[in-house]
Amino acid sequence: MREALFWESLPGSAVRCHLCRLECTIPKGGRGRCRARENRDGRLMSLVYGQLIAAHVDPVEKKPLFHVLPGSRCYSVATLGCNFRCRHCQNDSISQPKAELIGRERPVPPEQVAQAAFASGCAAIAFTYTEPTIFYEYALDIARLSHESGLKNLFVTNGYMQKEALTRIAPLMDAANVDLKAFSEIFYRDIVGARLSEMLDSLRCFRRLGIWLEITTLLIPGLNDSDQELWDLAHFIVSDLGSDVPWHVTAFHPAYALRDRPPTPPETLLRARAIGRAEGLRHVYTGNIPGAGGENTVCPSCGKTVIERRGFSLQALHLTRGSCDFCGAALAGIWA
C-alpha cells in the first residue's frame, strides 16, 4: 500500500481523487470506482502498489504497437482493477475483480520488475492487460527505473487520465496505444461509463505532450460500426491527432456482459480500413484476421510494403532506421 498521488481533502474526512477524469469523491472508508484507491482516515491510498497480478514477455505487435521497435519483445505487467466498466471487457477476471481481492497479491517492488524486464532481453516495459492509470504510482516508479536501464515504456490504456497526471508521467512514457472505443457519447455512457468529450480531450493531450500514439477501436456489430461513425472517428484522428497516427480496427468476440452481439465479420474491418484510408490516414490496420494484408505497413511515399506481418510475427522488414529501403522516405514511429 502507498499513499496515492493527485487527491484533495474534503469536509468530513472525504477526499476527491484527481488521477483520472472520473474524479471520484470518496467518503471515509470508501473506494473509488477503480476499487484500487481507498480513503483511509482522510488519506487516499493506492491498494495496488506493488501488487503485480500479471507479468509476461510479449511481442510488441500484440499491444498492438506497429510503429514501435517492430519485432521486439516487451515485459508486460498489470495489477487488478480498472476505472471503466466496459460491458465487453475481455480481461474482466482481472479488470473487474471482487473488491476484497484487491491488494492481496504478493508484493513485487518496482526494482524487481525493471530487473526482470532487463534480464529477459526485452526492449520495453508495457503497462497493459488492465488499466495502467489505476496503478499510476507503481507504474511511475517502474518507468523511472526502466528508463535508467535504457528500456522504453509503453502504455496500453483507455486514455482517461487527468492532464496533470499525464503531464507528470509523459517524459517517461515513450508510446501509448489508446482505446478510442467509439465516436458516440451514448456508447461511452451506456457501454463504458465515461464521456466521449473527455476522451477526445485526453487524446489531444497525449499528442501535445509528444507521446507516440496509436489508436485501437474494437468494432462491435450494431453499436459502433456504422459508416457515419467510422467516418467521424477517422476524421477526428486526421484533424486533431495527425494522419501519421496508426489506427487499429479489431474484431469483437462476445465476452463478459455483452454476449448478445455476434462476432465482428471480417468485412466490417475491411470497410473501416477503407474509410480510414479514404479520410487520409496513412496507416490503418485490421486485427484478428491474419493474412488479409491489413497487418502490413506500407510506405506512404512509394506504396511498397516495408513491414510484413502475420499475426504477431514479423515476416519481412524493409526499414532502415525508420526509412523505407525502397525510396528512402522516413516513416513516423519509434524505430530505435
Same-domain status, 85 and 104: yes
Residue 291 pLDDT greater than 80, yes or no: no
Same-domain status, 111 and 235: yes
Same-domain status, 122 and 167: yes
Side-chain-side CA neighbours of residue 222 (13 Å): 5
Same-domain status, 212 and 271: yes
Closest CA to 215 of 197, 188, 192, 238: 238
Same-domain status, 163 and 281: yes
Query: At which of 13, 29, 46 does a domain end?
Result: 46
Same-domain status, 23 and 149: no
pLDDT digits (tens, 9 = 90+) for 110-153: 999 999 999 999 999 999 999 999 999 999 999 999 999 999 99
Task: Compute the mean pLDDT over every residue in the chain, rounded to the nearest whole number.
Answer: 95
Mean pLDDT computed over 30-38: 95
d(CA 191, CA 312): 29
Same-domain status, 9 and 64: no
What is the reported pLDDT for 288?
A: 80
Cell, residue 273: 480500413
Question: What is the span of the domain harbouring residue 334?
Answer: 296-336
What is the reported pLDDT for 98?
A: 82
For residue 270, the tally of other CB atoms under 10 A from its CB is: 16
Same-domain status, 138 and 191: yes
pTM for the structure as a whole: 0.95
Same-domain status, 221 and 127: yes
Same-domain status, 260 and 111: yes
How many domains are there within the chain? 3
